[in-house]
């Protein structure tokens, strides 16, 4: 889980890479506004790539939980999160939102946390729950070959692929 700590509401001298002229937390702001403030852009590091959720904290309290759909590169090696703001009833929301941050605050706005909840099933259908990433190690191959098998042999799969996607051109 990514823990993002945002600052208090403040104006920016010029629009930033996400087109914002203000950023930070303000009492009473809507969840859409908070999402726009918190989603980036940040120096996230490699670990961010497989994370399923982000928690947004301000003043050591979790203010929002976001299910990460993807990370998009912005400028200078920074990234912004694209995802869905969670609502009450979602286990990650219920566990963390409006409660103290699960990790102590530091100077760094980005921290990571091994949460016991919010795990997602492996994309191959084996049922294994993963704290991060779409597949357990090697299970991307399983998922791929399940799809091949649905078409037939590897030969038949390649013919089918070329017919659907256009002939494969090696670059
Ligand atoms: Zn699997």
pLDDT band for position 152 (50/70/90)?
very high
Q: How far apart are the CA of 47 and the centre of ligand 1, in A? A: 20
Q: How far apart are the CA of 120 and the centre of ligand 1, in A? A: 11
Task: Answer yes or no: do 21 and 50 share one domain.
Answer: yes
Q: How far apart are the CA of 145 and the centre of ligand 1, in A? A: 12
Whether residue 124 is contained in a domain is answered as no
Task: Show the domain range for 69.
Answer: 2-117
Domains held by the chain: number: 2
pTM of the model: 0.85
Whether residue 122 is contained in a domain is answered as no
63-120: per-residue pLDDT in tens? 999 999 999 999 999 999 999 999 999 999 999 999 999 998 888 999 999 999 999 9
Q: How far apart are the CA of 123 and the centre of ligand 1, in A? A: 6
Whether residue 123 is contained in a domain is answered as no
Task: Answer yes or no: do 66 and 138 share one domain.
Answer: no
The pair of three-digit structure tokens given for residue 126, joined into one six-digit string: 């084996």
Task: Answer yes or no: do 85 and 140 share one domain.
Answer: no
Q: How far apart are the CA of 170 and the centre of ligand 1, in A? A: 29
Query: What are the residue ranges of helices labelled H in the chain?
Result: 31-38, 91-96, 139-151, 154-165
Task: Answer yes or no: do 40 and 104 share one domain.
Answer: yes
Residue with tokens 């497989």: 50
Q: How far apart are the CA of 97 and the centre of ligand 1, in A? A: 30
Picking from 96, 32, 89, the residue whose alpha carbon sits closest to that of residue 65 is 96
Task: Answer yes or no: do 74 and 142 share one domain.
Answer: no
Task: Answer yes or no: do 7 and 82 share one domain.
Answer: yes
Last residue of a domain, one of 117, 142, 160: 117
């Amino acid at each position: 889980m990514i823990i993002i700590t945002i600052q208090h509401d403040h104006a920016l001298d010029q629009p930033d890479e996400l087109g914002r002229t203000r950023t930070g937390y303000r009492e009473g702001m809507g969840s859409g506004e908070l999402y726009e403030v918190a989603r980036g852009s940040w120096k996230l590091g490699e670990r961010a790539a497989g994370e399923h959720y982000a928690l947004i904290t301000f003043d050591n309290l979790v203010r929002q939980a976001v299910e990460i759909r993807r990370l998009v590169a912005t400028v200078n090696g920074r990234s912004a999160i694209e995802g869905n703001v969670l609502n009450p009833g979602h286990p990650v929301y219920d566990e963390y939102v409006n409660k103290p941050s699960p990790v102590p605050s530091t100077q760094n706005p980005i921290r990571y946390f091994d949460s016991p909840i919010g795990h997602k099933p492996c994309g191959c259908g084996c049922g294994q729950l993963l704290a991060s990433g779409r597949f357990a190690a090697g299970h991307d191959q399983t998922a791929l070959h399940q799809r091949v098998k649905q078409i037939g042999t590897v030969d038949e799969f390649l013919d089918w692929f070329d017919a659907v996607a256009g002939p494969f051109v090696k670059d």
